[in-house]
């Protein structure tokens, strides 16, 4: 069923994904062109100031980009990403990345990913551009 493609793709990408497991990423939702992922900040994710390293928020958003862009069933690879860290994340904070498709052509798609904490405050803004290959997942 066509409707199952987003979930089948994400399940296959997530399987054996050791770093996402280490991060404790949970997939809250996946649809065609969008997804929502969560993780909880642990002490081993923090820098010397005991706030989450910028790489943690980036990693969550980058996974959201990969899942949202591949959810159409076409293999897609990241071309350019940018992130602005707007608020600190502390140990115990639950951060959520919501990916939304802003533009899609045959070859290129662009996603905005907003990362919020459990108070729904924005902690980071991410933009990602992918190249859509001509290979299908299934």
Which residues bind to its own copies, rule: CB under 8 A? 12-20, 22-23, 43-48, 50, 52-56, 58-60, 62-63, 66, 78-86, 102-103, 105, 107-108, 110, 112, 122, 125, 127, 129, 131
Least separation in angstroms between residue 27's CB and its own copies is 13
Q: Which one, 36 or 58, has the nearer CB to its own copies?
A: 58
Look at residues 94, 98, 95, 41 and name the one whose alpha carbon lies nearest to residue 64: 98
Nearest residue (CB) to its own copies, 36 versus 56 = 56
Q: Which of 18/120 has CB closer to its own copies?
A: 18
Q: Give the residue with the Cβ less far from its own copies, 86 or 118.
A: 86
| Spatial contact of 23 and 56, defined as CB atoms under 8 Å apart | yes
Minimum Å gap between C-beta 17 and its own copies is 4
In whole angstroms, the minimum distance from the beta carbon of 93 to its own copies comes to 14
By CB atoms closer than 10 A (0-12, 13-18, 19+), residue 80 is exposed
Least distance (Å) between residue 30 CB and its own copies: 15
Distance separating alpha carbons of residues 133 and 135, to the nearest angstrom: 6
Q: Where are the beta strands (DSSP E) in 19-93?
A: 26-31, 34-40, 74-85
Cβ atoms of 26 and 94 within 8 Å: the answer is no
């Amino acid at each position: 069923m066509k409707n199952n493609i987003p979930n089948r793709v994400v399940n296959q990408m997530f399987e054996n994904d050791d770093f996402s497991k280490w991060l404790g990423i949970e997939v809250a939702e996946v649809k065609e062109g969008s997804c929502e992922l969560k993780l909880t900040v642990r002490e081993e994710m923090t820098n010397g100031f005991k706030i989450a390293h910028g790489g943690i928020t980036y990693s969550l958003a980058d996974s959201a980009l990969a899942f949202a862009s591949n959810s159409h069933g076409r293999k897609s690879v990241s071309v350019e990403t940018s992130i602005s860290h707007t608020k600190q994340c502390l140990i115990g904070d639950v951060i959520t990345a919501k990916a939304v498709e802003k533009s899609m052509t045959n070859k290129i798609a662009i996603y905005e990913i907003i990362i919020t904490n459990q108070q729904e405050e924005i902690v980071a803004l991410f933009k990602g551009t992918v190249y859509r290959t001509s290979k299908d997942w299934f």
